[in-house]
Amino acid sequence: MKIGDFEIEMPDPPLQDPHCIAILKPWINVGKIVLRRLGKMYASERIGKLERPSKFYDFTRYRPEIRLRGDVRSVRVPNTRISYARRPGSNDLVLLELLEPHAFAEDFNDSVVDLVKALGVTRYVQIGGMYDSVPHSRELSVTGSARGWEPPEGFGNVSIGKSRYQGPTSMTSQISERIFSDLKLETLSLMVHLPLYLKLDDDYAGSARILKILSELYGFSSRLPEVEMGEKQYDQVSPAMLDNPQLKEMVERFERETDSDTSGDPGSGDSASPEGISLSPEIEQFLSDVAETDAGTENDGSDSPRG
């Protein structure tokens, strides 16, 4: 079935009051890990993708990949992909992996809105991560907004409010706005704030933080592999700070700012971009070593989202 620019195999029977959980790639991989965990947890099934992704994507920027399975050779073409998962007696899930378009973004957004409508989605949840002046030694801050419904009081220790961010964004940011204003559906956005001095390819602590919040909404256990994997990642940092006084000083400053923040809005301070603070060559090398170590160990567990 054709829906906008998507080719979709509609679920049969239809989904039950589904919530759509959407991520945007190739930004920080927090969302990708979350969707993979949800997909494993609820045995999700792929139902569609863009019919002609080259309309939207520059394949010199998003490179196709050659893959081998046994003696079978194939080419994996970058695409936006849609899966669904059934949850007995509750809201089913639509898992939407948005790949940011390079061209025809308006057509892309139209197709996503049409898809959400066709699948009967009742709430659109957008999750992601950003770098900020936060320490790895405290619970990671999560900010967000909810429209068309009221989250429970104290929900996930999330700072719910109106975003005051101004600056560059993705054209796909219009999707949530249109889903709320045009389709009159409930929306929720969740953004986990990650330590700007740790640029991990896959930040499992950030993913675990989002998964714990979603567990409150959807009633699954928060005892997940990502929790332990995130703790192991961040545990590498504190011992190394003993030999890196500048990094230690930075982290302690972030800790003081976090502990003294009484505004309840982690995003209300002077959030810095990764380029906003100058690090010494020694610290840069340390951070590179942490990331490389993580890349070499992240697949050790059989429950790893990459597995």
Q: What does the mean pLDDT of the chain come to?
A: 86
User: What residue ranges of the chain have pLDDT lower than 50?
Assistant: 262-280, 282-283, 294-307
CA 104 distance to own-chain centroid? 23
pLDDT attached to residue 289: 58
| 114-135 pLDDT per residue, tens | 999 999 999 999 999 999 999 9
Question: What count of other Cβ atoms lies within 10 Å of the Cβ of residue 298?
Answer: 20
Exposure on the CB side of residue 164, measured as CA atoms within 13 A: 9
pLDDT at 287: 54
User: CA distances (Å), 51 to each of 56, 78, 80, 114, 187, in order?
Assistant: 11, 12, 10, 15, 27
pLDDT tens digits, 18-53: 999 999 998 788 999 999 999 999 999 999 999 999
Count of beta carbons in the 10 Å neighbourhood of residue 11: 18
Amino acid 227: pLDDT? 96
Q: Indicate the pTM of the whole model.
A: 0.84
| Pairwise CA distance, residues 292 & 253, whole Å | 26
Our separate counts of H helices and E strands in the chain read 8, 12
* Collapsed DSSP state (helix, strand, coil) of residue 243: coil
Distance CA 189, CA 191 (A): 7
The Cα–Cα gap between 176 and 75 comes to 32
Q: Domains in the chain, ordered, with CATH? A: 2-297 (3.40.50.10900)
At 29 the pLDDT is: 86
Q: To the nearest 10°, the Cα dihedral for 116, 122, 128, 132?
A: 130
**CA gyration radius, the chain:** 20
Asked whether the beta carbons of 104 and 178 are under 8 A apart, the reply is no
HSE toward the beta carbon, residue 50, CA cutoff 13 A: 22
